[in-house]
Amino acid sequence: MNRANVTKKIKDEIARLGFSYCGISKAGFLEEEAPRLERYLENNMHGEMSYMERNFDKRLDPTILVPGAKSVISVMYNYFPSQKRNDNDDVKISSYAFGEDYHKVIKDKLYDVWQFILDEVGEVDGRIFVDSAPVLDKAWANKSGLGWVGKNTNLINPKSGSFFFIAEIIVDLDLDYDANEIKDYCGTCTACIDACPTDAIVEPYIVDGSKCISYYTIELKDQIPIEAKGKMDNWVFGCDVCQDVCPWNRFSTAHNEPLFQPKNNVHNLSNNDWLEMTEEIFKEVFRNSPIKRTKFEGIRRNLKFVLD
């Protein structure tokens, strides 16, 4: 089977499994990303996310991460919610956490893709990545023409906005590459910069991760800095502000993934619901949720910070 046919079959299977977009790039060193990543780390914009300091070379070169790699298959899976939060002063969670943990949902689908590749091609080597390894997801999606990296540093697709999970299969298989990077269409818009509650977008295309509400509520294990008091906009797990205000997300359409539908009314829990929640109930309600990452103590800390 020739390369074009293999590429088409893989993309067709990826679409059949519910992914919105797929782009393929030639595996190699990300030359433009190297100085950006270096500056990001030198300026301590990763805060206490020490894992960002490790595997520097692997982050920039998938052929080190996966020896013999020839292709990076980037996929995007929609999570734009069909059900919105109540428009009130209750605490909020990011819409990506309404349903089941995306890591498992998407990884299961990519294992199906991997099995399809093995069945079609035979013996190949590669790995699946779902936001859990040193891979620069947005850079590879941008490189394969799936969108541009906006001023809020989210990948923006001109047809569908930015509410997508990005994942990869890196494989030692020659495929047809999508070499048409999409032009940056942010223009003069500064909606995301103006709306960020903690001024984490320190300049266009640069987010100081150590000031981001998502960092405060998920990654940070110590106390949230006092300078963020009154600026959290009642977010207790993640933050969607820079996406909610992005004009390109007027093109977003609701996902059709049953596993991402809100469970146990988590998107509309009242302040009292959260405050009265015991650790036992927390573990039951969020058993298969991304929110379990903060653990009960983390959620209690976040609630106390935004509500006291």
**Angle subtended at Cα 150 by Cα 146 and Cα 154, rounded to the nearest 5 degrees:** 70
pLDDT per residue over 127-165, tens digit each? 999 998 899 999 999 999 999 999 999 999 999 999 999
Looking at the structure, tell me whether residues 206 and 301 fall in a common domain: yes
Task: Decide if 63 is inside a domain.
Answer: yes
3-state SS, residue 247: helix
CATH number at residue 149: 3.40.109
Looking at the structure, tell me whether residues 160 and 129 fall in a common domain: yes
- Let me know: does 96 contact 235? Beta carbons within 8 Å: no
Task: Decide if 213 is inside a domain.
Answer: yes
Higher pLDDT, 48 or 13: 13
Looking at the structure, tell me whether residues 48 and 157 fall in a common domain: yes
Looking at the structure, tell me whether residues 266 and 140 fall in a common domain: no
Rounded Cα gap, residues 53 and 42, in angstroms: 10
Looking at the structure, tell me whether residues 153 and 273 fall in a common domain: no
Domain that holds residue 157: 3-82+98-171
- Let me know: does 230 contact 301? Beta carbons within 8 Å: no
Residues 6+ apart with CB under 8 A from 242: 152, 154, 192, 195, 196, 201
Rounded Cα gap, residues 29 and 61, in angstroms: 4
- Let me know: does 205 contact 216? Beta carbons within 8 Å: no
pLDDT per residue over 72-99, tens digit each? 999 999 999 988 876 678 999 999 999 9
Model confidence at 52, in pLDDT bands (50, 70, 90)? confident
Rounded Cα gap, residues 247 and 15, in angstroms: 26
pLDDT at 93: 96
> At residue 13, does pLDDT exceed 90?
yes
* Tokens matching residue 219: 């990654």
Percentage of the chain exceeding pLDDT 90 = 90
Model confidence at 1, in pLDDT bands (50, 70, 90)? low
Model confidence at 277, in pLDDT bands (50, 70, 90)? very high
Looking at the structure, tell me whether residues 254 and 198 fall in a common domain: yes
- Kindly state the helix (H) or strand (E) to which residue 107 belongs, with its residue range: helix 102-121
pLDDT at 84: 80
* Mean pLDDT, rounded, of the chain: 95
pLDDT at 212: 98
Looking at the structure, tell me whether residues 198 and 153 fall in a common domain: no
To the query of whether residue 240 is one of the catalytic residues in this protein, the response is no
Residues 6+ apart with CB under 8 A from 107: 128, 130, 167
Model confidence at 34, in pLDDT bands (50, 70, 90)? very high
> At residue 10, does pLDDT exceed 80?
yes
pLDDT at 48: 87
Residue 77: which of 19, 22, 141, 24 has the closest Cα?
A: 19
> Which one is catalytic: 131, 184, 233, 273?
131
